[in-house]
Amino acid sequence: MATLGELIFVAEGAIGPVTKFIASQDIGLFTAFSVFVDYYLYLILPLSIVLFYKQLGRKRIASLVLSLLFLFFLVTYTKLLFHESRPCNEYLKVSCPADYAFPSGHTAVAFAFAFFALGTAAFPFYYTSAFFVALSRIYLGVHSLNDVVGGVVVGIFSYFISEKVVEAWLRYAGD
């Protein structure tokens, strides 16, 4: 019997059974949604803040902006550090990106948004969005489950650190 670690976390270049199962599905509507998210995620999520601005407040938004800047560097350099190749294989539904896979940048951004909305009425929207973004990255065949889990951790970590930095800055500034 395989352990949970063997089922989920696999060696580089191999894909686990969970990743293989998700990527092997062919659901037309979800494919369209996934391709749309692949291209427009970085536009949709920031624009959605307009809907929830009054509920979220300036401190949270400042934390999110700092988190997104931090994520840009963190994801880029983590990919360069790990050199994890993408699982692009027979299940690929879009062109294979040229950069490394670990961690998933789309998933990291989506979960930074979800964590940013924690405790507000906007949370269900952002959490559901983050879940489907993570699932779509595997479904499209451009990430493995390892990459997506890494993106979740990096996204939440980035927002948490950014929130602490903004809080400290506001205390220092006397706000």
**Is the CB of residue 88 less than 8 Å from the CB of residue 141?**
yes
Predicted TM-score (pTM) of the model is 0.81
Nearest-angstrom CA–CA distance, 118 and 88: 33
Nearest to 108 by CA among 148, 66, 139, 53: 148
Nearest to 35 by CA among 133, 113, 109: 133
* pLDDT value of position 14: 55
* pLDDT value of position 175: 56
Question: Hey, where are the domains in the chain?
Answer: 28-173
* pLDDT value of position 15: 67
* pLDDT value of position 10: 47
* Average pLDDT, consecutive stretches of 10 residues, N- to C-terminus, the chain (175 residues): 45 68 82 85 77 74 88 91 82 79 90 87 86 88 88 93 88 75
